[in-house]
Chains A and B, each alone.
Chain A
Amino acid sequence: MTGAAQMAGNIPSADLIVIGGGIHGCATAMYAALRGLSVILLEKETVARHASGVNAGGVRRLGRHYEEVAISQRAMELWYGLQDFVGADCGFNIAPQIRVIETEDELENARQRVKDLNEMGFDHEVILEQNELREYLPAVSDHVLAGLACIEDGFAQPFHTTFAIAQKAKAEGVRIYEQCRATGLKQADGVWSVETSQGAFKAPKVLVAGGAWGNELSSSVGEPVPLEDCAPMMIVTSRLPHFCDAVVSALGRPLSFKQMPNGTVVIGGGRRGRADRNTNLSEILFDELHLTAETAADIFPIMREASIVRTWSGVESILPDGIPVIGPSAKHEGLYYSFGYSTHGFQLGPGCGEVMAELIATGETKYSLDAFAVNRFAA
């Protein structure tokens, strides 16, 4: 997937240029191509290099911000058929997502949430009381009171998934240029020119799906957003005998916990390391990460037997209200955004990809994107 250098006198062009080779860029490119658009995707390193390749892999409707729930539901429908659709193993498994509840206050909040969702017309989240919880999580600590759950959520392998979506996009005609960093956007006569480290590309429509680097481009066209870098940290253990089929989080403290089919346990939850988006690198801070280990052992005492084989983190970006920027530019015709997924964008990938492709191709989408507007932070 190496990009060709710019041909002399011949600027590569398409109906749509997607900037960013994470799951959102790749999914949008794929769905746009399936709608008949010619698409070029530009990725500054390699597909799935950052968050989309190294996240916890949770395919989760559970616990979403209310504004995201509708798209998340649609995304889940797409997930159920995704492996067949892209023709590759994404490591996708349907599995309950369960948020363990450790205090009475947390339980009260959880009950209220389920009520709110039901009133909105959604019934995918339920409360699992003490005994029912232990049918799903026999190894959970005695002190856990209950669980907030979505029984038919799931998990997947993030790199496999994003890579497979990119491969399907390529099969549908998307041209992917890797090691191609977009450095500027200019519009003239209804055509966008994207300047990159490999020369210029042209299209009437551009999608900025640049993840933690998205606001560099949005700022350059007068639409800055207050994106904050962070480096959520992950742990993976050696293989353990099988004891947990669900994906587990905790309502009251940072934790994501999943035992993979091969027996290794992947533990995350968002405690932060040190991020440097200029070098695209991040660093583990064990001062923080030891709390992740402690939480995992508190909630699943069997984890005390585990050994930590690896830790890693990646550069992610968070917006102040914790939800992404999705939708059209507020200032420029033909420019669209899909970034800032604030450490929970993976499950939304196919859904937002489909929505953005529809919006870009037809100018409309039935989903309300007002809450995700790029200019919502303007004073």
Chain B
Amino acid sequence: MAPSISRRIEEDAPTVTFTFEGQTIEAKKGDSVAAALTAAGVLDLRSSVVSGESRGIFCMMGACFECLMNIDGQPNRQACMTEVSEGLVVLRQQGSREVDL
């Protein structure tokens, strides 16, 4: 259980569940993936392509491209610009991975 890093003021909104790295996450309708992960206590969303260092949300408005994640099989998606939907599959984006030719 991740330490709490944020509080949700409006508990009444309808729930949406999705998975992150295989874990089930409960989000609220209208959350971006980035917001939902923040509420769930997840700080690191990807590793940098240059040094491998961890990166997390930064601007939340689609300008900084820090929140790039693999969402429903597609890499390089901005988590702050993607709304959560039921059953969405979200993975961290790791710098360089092996490809199976």
Contact = CB atoms under 8 A, between A and B. Distances in A.
A139 B49 contact: no
A267 B95 CA distance: 21
A107 to B, nearest CB: 24
Interface string A290-313: 000000000000100101000000
Given A239-B96, A241-B96, A243-B99, 15 more contacts: A138-B101, A238-B75, A238-B76, A240-B99, A241-B97, A241-B98, A241-B99, A242-B96, A242-B99, A243-B101, A262-B49, A263-B49, A305-B75, A307-B75, A307-B76
B86 to A, nearest CB: 25
A263 B97 CA distance: 10
Nearest to A240: B99
B101 A139 contact: yes
Interface of B: 49, 75-76, 95-99, 101
A271 B76 CA distance: 27
Contacts, number: 25
Nearest to B97: A241
A20 to B, nearest CB: 35
A307 B98 CA distance: 17
Interface of A: 138-139, 238-243, 262-263, 302, 305, 307
15 contacts: A138-B101, A139-B99, A238-B75, A239-B95, A239-B96, A240-B99, A241-B97, A241-B98, A241-B99, A242-B96, A242-B99, A262-B49, A302-B99, A305-B75, A307-B76
B interface, by DSSP: helix, strand, loop or mixed? loop
A239 B46 CA distance: 14
A154 to B, nearest CB: 23
A162 to B, nearest CB: 25
Contacts of B96: 239, 241-242, 263
A263 to B, nearest CB: 6
Contacts of B95: 239
Nearest to B101: A138
A238 B70 CA distance: 14
Nearest to A134: B101
Contacts of A263: 49, 96
A240 B95 CA distance: 9
Nearest to A140: B101
B83 to A, nearest CB: 20
Contacts of A238: 75-76
A305 B95 CA distance: 15
The 10 closest A-B pairs by CB, nearest first: A241-B99, A138-B101, A307-B76, A239-B49, A241-B97, A139-B101, A243-B99, A238-B76, A241-B96, A263-B96
A273 to B, nearest CB: 25
Contacts of B101: 138-139, 243, 302
A240 B76 CA distance: 11
A80 to B, nearest CB: 29
Contacts of A262: 49
Contacts of A307: 75-76
B82 to A, nearest CB: 14
A262 B48 CA distance: 13
Contacts of B75: 238, 305, 307
A287 B75 CA distance: 26
A263 B101 CA distance: 16
A177 B41 CA distance: 57
Nearest to A302: B99
Contacts of B98: 241
A9 to B, nearest CB: 53
A302 B95 CA distance: 17
